[in-house]
Amino acid sequence: MSKALRLGLLGGTFDPPHLGHLALARAARDQLALDELRWVPAGAPWQKAGRVLAPAADRLAMVRLLVDGEARMRVDDVEIRRAGPSYTVDTVLALRRERPDADLFLVVGQDQYARLHTWHRWRELLEAVTLAVAGRECAPPQAPAELAGVAHRMVAIDLTPVAVSSTAVRDAAARGADLRAHVGAAVAAYIERHHLYRPSTPLPARS
Ligand code: ATP
């Protein structure tokens, strides 16, 4: 019998993608022996509604730059092409139909694990995947109380913490700081070239 395909999904807003995301992706790929780790940038992230995001085309282009050359990784624009809010459960169930033989791992950080019960149709989602959770500060992942009584498959990923977030990168970009240590040279150059995350230009004073 042939071995089941081991497929990991790493969803996110990636506004912008940074080296913490890359460390998580590499750790998941290597520790879970994944055949493929798919990055899935959200088109319309319902959880970030209310905040103005960089255009999806830019977020997708930056993820492609960050992932370029990484073995067994690929970028999937399915959520950007799909109309309406980006629900992970829709992506996972579509993948399930496409690859019924695959073992699906949904890769998340502890912050997302802690709020998984707020996700759209989360019980259905938990039936379809094994969660792969990176704990915080080298501590093992902590299930939130809401998930304690709910059967779900979870594996821990060991990750040396990388102290960076997209929020911190956007703030640094707005100050005109050098971003290379947080996002790598290619993404930093993209942000600069496309004038992303700059404070909006003040309107000229009326005479
Ligand atoms: P923001 O600061 O805008 O909230 P973010 O940096 O948390 O963004 P997301 O795109 O929301 O980035 O995160 C995608 C996934 O990456 C989530 O599962 C999140 O837990 C994980 N993640 C984000 N930053 C890190 C990091 N520094 N180390 C490990 N995982 C991370």
Cα–ligand 1 centroid distance for 205 (angstroms): 39
CB of 88 closer than 6 angstroms to any ligand 1 atom: no
Nearest CA to ligand 1 atom 28: 20
CA of 152 to the centre of ligand 1 (A): 22
In a domain, 86, yes or no: yes
Ligand 1 within 6 A of CB of 109: yes
* Residue 201 forms part of a structural domain: no
Residue 138 pLDDT > 80: no
**Weakest-pLDDT range from 54-58, 63-67, 149-153:** 149-153
CA distance 34 to 32: 5
Distance 165 CA to ligand 1 centre (A): 6
Q: What CATH number has the domain bearing residue 29?
A: 3.40.50.620
Q: What is the pLDDT of residue 50?
A: 72
Number of domains making up the chain? 1
Evaluate whether residue 200 is within a structural domain. Answer: no
Compute the radius of gyration of the chain from its Cα atoms: 18
CB count within 10 Å of CB 159 equals 20
Mutate to test the pocket of ligand 1, among 24, 118, 119 (most ligand atoms within 8 A of CB): 24
In a domain, 59, yes or no: yes
Count of helix runs (H) and strand runs (E) in the chain: 9, 6
Asked if the structure places residue 166 within a domain, the reply is no
Ligand 1 touching residue 108 (CB < 6 A): yes
Establish if 33 belongs to a structural domain. yes
Dihedral class, residue 134 (left if φ above 0, else alpha if ψ from -120 to 50, else beta): beta
Residues 91 and 9: beta-carbon distance below 8 Å: yes
pLDDT score at 49: 66
**Cα gap 155→196, rounded to integer Å:** 36
Beta carbon of 47 within 6 Å of any ligand 1 atom: no
Query: How much is the average pLDDT of 57-74?
Result: 98
The answer to the question of residue 192 being in a domain is no
Query: How big is the CA angle at 166 (ends 159 and 20), to the nearest 5 degrees?
Result: 20
Instruction: State in Å: Cα 23 to ligand 1 middle.
Output: 11
In whole angstroms, give the CA distance from residue 176 to residue 123. Answer: 43
Per the domain annotation, does 204 fall within a domain?
Answer: no
Question: What is the tens place of the pLDDT at every residue in 27-40?
Answer: 999 999 999 999 99
- Compare 149 and 134 and report the one with higher pLDDT: 134
Instruction: Tell me the pairing of strands 103-109 and 6-12.
Output: parallel
Could you list the residue range(s) of the whole structural domain that residue 120 is in?
Answer: 6-161
Atom number in ligand 1 closest to CA 109:
20
Is any ligand 1 atom within 6 A of the Cβ of residue 17? Answer: no
Cα–Cα distances in angstroms (integers) from residue 4 to residues 102, 149, 169, in the given order:
5, 29, 38
Residue 104 token pair: 């699906």
